[in-house]
Amino acid sequence: MISIPTAVDVAALKETTLLNMGIFGLFVAVTMVIVLRASRNNKTAADYYAAGRSFTGSQNGTAIAGDYLSAASFLGITGAIAINGYDGFMYSIGFLVAWLVALLLVAELLRNTGKFTMADVLSFRLKQRPVRIAAAISTLAVCFFYLLAQMAGAGSLISLLLGISDWGGQALVIIVVGALMIMYVLIGGMKGTTWVQIIKAILLIAGAAVMTLWVLAIYGFNLSSLLGAAVDTANNPAVLNPGLQYGKTETSKLDFMSLGLALVLGTAALPHVLMRFYTVPTAKEARKSVVWSIWLIGLFYLFTLVLGYGAAALVGAATIKAAPGGVNSAAPLLAFHLGGPLLLGFISAVAFATILAVVAGLTITAAASFAHDIYASVIAKGKADADTEVKVARRTVVVIGVLAIVGGIFANGQNVAFLVALAFAVAASANLPTIIYSLFWRRFTTQGAIWSMYGGLGSAILLIAFSPVVSGAATSMIPGSNFAVFPLSNPGIVSIPLAFLLGWLGTVLDKKTEDPAKQAEMEVRSLTGVGAEKAVDH
């Protein structure tokens, strides 16, 4: 291949390390001050888990965008479009359309019936203990998968941005990221976490907007010429067509269907997204949050389309693949090509902030679920006072933080977007059927919930364990072994329908019925918002 005159000098990237660290340090300092200020009013459990329900719809919507647009979205999708063209774009469509499930079916009803966690809603009219335990277990499982993805992303990002390529150095940076995250969540609770996510969302969307306009300006604001340039650089017209990545075999086509199902049904079942709906005072604000996040996230994914093809045209797939960090380096390399070290430093700092903010959101969700659902409701049987519960939550934050650091060090090098897709599949299988049934199906029973949650969670994890992800392929987690009896790398197409089926079967085979008064209460509360927890006054 002819060398591209505009190609990025990867070696020059290392000289910007100090600048990257400086900009990132500034971000940490500014957010830490804000977190400290925000945490002054953290008194009750509602303050710690739900930020006193004091955020507005637009603030929460921005925070949701900050929580949702993870490193997988920014680095992963831009890279996927740069390398695989159209197939990368299809990822972002699934991630966006999924928000309609949250908007229409889940957000407001959930805000009206729960307090802090997903389990509050699921156990509302069913038997408290078994349903709460099952919901907490699936919350912890989804958070763990998602956390692993983010920490693994931190490792590969660092190799590019800070020029640290040895395993020990990357491990050290993962420890630093983890320690920072623990501090944010410990001190700031949900309020501090939300502010970190808001700041990060604004920086990320602004940064992406600047780069998008820049790329478009180079091509005279003509999308067609940008696409033409991407075809020229790749020397392959197929980058504009679907199928480059997933169209190879019948199995890979089916795998894409499975991925699409998991993406579109997973979002509305992600515990850390659901928990964000409790930080606003009313269901109307919850609706407003989703509307804000749909606009912000949609806009951002339109940017990634331009950025991805821009990286393909200006940097070139060959250079991206050869760079440290591989596919994930497309966006930073494009930033360097456009704006030199300063823009690269800014984009790198934003990418770090992204990981930090998402990891903080996941950690507080997992800690709240453990403290509120398992400790307060099951171990202490509802007798724990709020102070003890928050104390337990804070200790859980440290434990989860340490687990994430250790997991992240070992997951370092795994594909980020892919690990996130697994988290979506597990969430869609384990949580979504029970959420939908308990909100909309009067007859639904405890047995149906238990079958659906454990069946969905178990089948999703088992199918992953026996898939090419874990063994039997060159890119597997355990290379050199082969026990991959399930051919697809995403379990969604089997485990999601199975979980819906089990929820139905468990209910119709259940001889017991649930209390109709509880069902009436849940339905009336969910639709009218009567008695829903209001904002905490200070």
Tell me which residues touch another protein (CB under 8 A).
43-46, 86, 89-90, 93-94, 96-97, 99-101, 103-105, 115, 222-225, 227-228, 231, 240-243, 246-247, 253, 256-257, 260, 264, 284, 287, 290-291, 294-295, 298, 301-302, 376-377, 382, 384-386, 389, 440, 516-517, 520-521, 523-525, 527-531, 533-534, 536
Rounded to whole angstroms, what are the CA distances from 161 to 197, 269, 341, 404, 419?
Answer: 21, 33, 11, 21, 21
- Tokens 């859980």 belong to which residue? 396
- In this complex, which beta carbon is closest to another protein, that of residue 356 or of residue 496? 496
Q: Residue 167 CB, nearest distance to another protein (Å)?
A: 38
Nearer to another protein, 198 or 283 (CB): 283
**Which tokens in the block code for residue 475?**
């890119």
Token pair 């890279």 is found at 79
Question: Smaller CB distance to another protein: residue 302 or 406?
Answer: 302
Residue 528 C-beta: closest distance to another protein, Å: 5
Those residues with Cβ within 8 angstroms of residue 30's Cβ, 6 or more apart along the chain or in another chain: 199
Q: Which is nearer to another protein, 28 or 103 (CB)?
A: 103
Torsion of CA 307, 310, 315, 318, to 10 degrees: 90
140: enclosing H helix or E strand: helix 128-161
* 158 contacts: CB under 8 Å, gap ≥ 6: 164, 169, 170, 173, 174
Which is closer to another protein, CB of 33 or CB of 520? 520
Task: Report how many helices (DSSP H) and strands (DSSP E) the chain contains, helices first.
Answer: 23, 0
What does the block give as tokens for 301?
Answer: 């994914």
DSSP per position, 72-93: IIIIIIHHHHHHHTHHHHHHHH
The Cα 152–Cα 168 span in angstroms is 14
- Least distance in Å: CB of 99 to another protein? 7
Min separation Cβ 375 and another protein, Å: 10
State the nearest-atom distance from the C-beta of 74 to another protein, in Å.
18
Nearer to another protein, 94 or 155 (CB): 94
Grouping H, G, I as helix, E, B as strand and the rest as coil, residue 444 is coil
Least distance between another protein and beta carbon 261 (Å): 8
Nearer to another protein, 403 or 521 (CB): 521
SS3 50: helix
> How many angstroms separate the CA atoms of 62 and 272, rounded?
14
- CA–CA separation, 225 vs 216, rounded Å? 9
Residue type, 479: P
Smallest distance, another protein to C-beta of residue 111, A? 13
**Min. distance of Cβ 211 from another protein in angstroms?**
19
Comparison of 329 and 369: residue with beta carbon closer to another protein: 369
SS3 assignment for 249-261: CHHHHHHHHHHHH
Question: Shortest distance, CB of residue 393 to another protein, whole angstroms?
Answer: 12
**Residue 109 contacts residue 130 (beta carbons within 8 Å):** no
Based on CB atoms, which residue is closest to another protein, 170 or 365? 365
Half-sphere exposure (CA, 13 Å, Cβ side) for 245? 18
- Nearest approach, Cβ of 148 to another protein (angstroms)? 27
| Residue 62 CB, nearest approach to another protein (Å) | 16
Closer by beta carbon to another protein, 238 or else 501:
238
Question: What token pair was written down for 373?
Answer: 């659902």
Tell me whether residue 287 or residue 337 sits nearer to another protein (CB atom): 287
Compute the distance between CA of residue 462 and CA of residue 121 in angstroms, rounded to an integer.
27
Can you state the angle between helices 283-314 and 330-368, rounded to 10 degrees? 150
